[in-house]
Amino acid sequence: MKLGGMDMELRQLLYAVRIAEEQSFSKAAEKLHLAQPSLSQQIAKLERELGIILFERSTNTLKLTYAGERFFESAVKILDQVEQLKKEMEDVAELKRGTLTVGSLPITGTHILPLVLPIFKKNYPGVEVKLIEEATRTLEQLTARGTTEMSLLTLPVQDPHLEWEEIWQEEIFLAVPPDHPLSGEKEVAVKELKNEAFIMLKKGQGFRTLAAKWCEEAGFTPRVVFESSNIETVKSLVAAGMGIAYVPSMMTRHQKAGLSPAYLSLRNPRPFRTLVMAYRRGRYRSQAGQAFLKTIKEVLSQTMEESNLNW
């Protein structure tokens, strides 16, 4: 690629973007499988050709200059356009080869992707699926940027650059300690929980936002006594008698040996969460992506029928 009579290679754009994302030459070199001196030389060459400095280098931190920020924004768009062109060409091969980068919430993906990926791999053996697991907000940013073609998220999706397709609506249950007064009940109204101690995921996670909303809709603010970034830790704390928690139904099926929570249905309201596949608005959707979306819908539909659960 030439710019103003100057040669600029796509790999140099990739190198600069990776350094900006990692905020470190050494970490970027590791991700790119390059020697750090070689990476530094490539960026120095690019800066000489551009006649600008992309990075403010110091002993403590690495930041983009103003020119670097503008370069980064444009480079991300160019690399994404190249990736989209590549996917269009891969589609010509009728899914005989290609790659698909999918984002997923870690815990949700743990329960869903082991059901989906083996079937997808069997049906499309030439398509390599690359998985990126991150928290909700980070996944939205990666999807809007085009780093992932699509991501498994829950509503609400906040980023205005994203659109989505619903794949599953899942009922939410209440987990209580096995010796809790409610443990013998089949269901409970959410408003009856206003004096209970709640264990929740940490703020910033989509399910925490939903959990707080369900309480507020019932007329109270939950009293949160413990927070965790892992729903399995939340379940363990409930089992140990430290409080109660909202738990998605898919995560109530497999219990660890030993003490486990008791689960109740909820009413007034009966809470659900909606799982979606989100992708950047207007972005080209590859055949591999469409096939993956079709596969995950079929697998989850079959899972619901076989398990006979109230999702």
State pLDDT tens for residues 140-179: 999 999 999 999 999 889 999 999 999 988 899 999 999 9
Specify the pLDDT at position 133: 93
The rounded percent of the chain whose pLDDT value lies above 70 is 92
Specify the pLDDT at position 97: 78
pLDDT at 108 over 70: yes
Specify the pLDDT at position 6: 44
Average pLDDT over residues 253-261: 70
pLDDT band at 95 (very low <50, low <70, confident <90, very high): confident
User: Which of 268, 247, 273, 271 lies closest to 188, judged by CA?
Assistant: 268
* 4-18, 111-125, 181-195: the lowest-pLDDT one: 4-18
Average pLDDT over residues 10-19: 91
Specify the pLDDT at position 309: 43
| Domain range 168-273, its CATH number among 3.30.750.24, 1.10.287.70, 3.40.190.290, 1.20.120.80 | 3.40.190.290
State pLDDT tens for residues 294-310: 999 999 888 766 554 44
- Which tops the pLDDT comparison, 10 or 204? 10
pLDDT band at 256 (very low <50, low <70, confident <90, very high): low
> What integer best gives the mean pLDDT of the chain?
87
Structure-block tokens of residue 63: 């930041």
Q: Is it true that the peptide bond before 178 is cis, omega within 30 degrees of 0?
A: no
Specify the pLDDT at position 144: 93
> pTM higher than 0.75, yes or no?
no
Domain with CATH 3.40.190.290 in the chain: 168-273
Q: Own/partner pairs for 194-198, CB < 8 Å, 24+ apart?
A: 194/218, 194/219, 194/220, 195/223, 196/223, 196/243, 196/244, 197/223, 197/224, 197/225, 197/242, 197/243, 197/244, 198/222, 198/223, 198/224, 198/225, 198/243, 198/244, 198/245
Specify the pLDDT at position 283: 86
Domain with CATH 1.10.10.10 in the chain: 2-82
Average pLDDT over residues 267-280: 90
Specify the pLDDT at position 10: 87
For domain 2-82, the CATH class is mainly alpha
State pLDDT tens for residues 27-69: 999 989 999 999 999 999 999 988 999 998 876 778 899 999 9
Specify the pLDDT at position 285: 85
CA distance 48 to 267: 65
For domain 88-167+274-307, the CATH class is alpha beta
DSSP 3-state assignment of 15?
A: helix
User: Which of 174, 144, 178 lies closest to 259, judged by CA?
Assistant: 178
The rounded percent of the chain whose pLDDT value lies above 90 is 58
Side chain identity at residue 8, one-letter code: M
Q: Which residues contact 180 (CB under 8 A, 6 or more apart)?
A: 241, 244, 262
CA distance 170 to 300: 11
CA distance 209 to 201: 9
Specify the pLDDT at position 136: 87
Q: Which range is most confident: 8-17, 80-89, 102-111, 211-220?
A: 211-220
Count of CB atoms situated within 10 Å of the CB of 223: 13
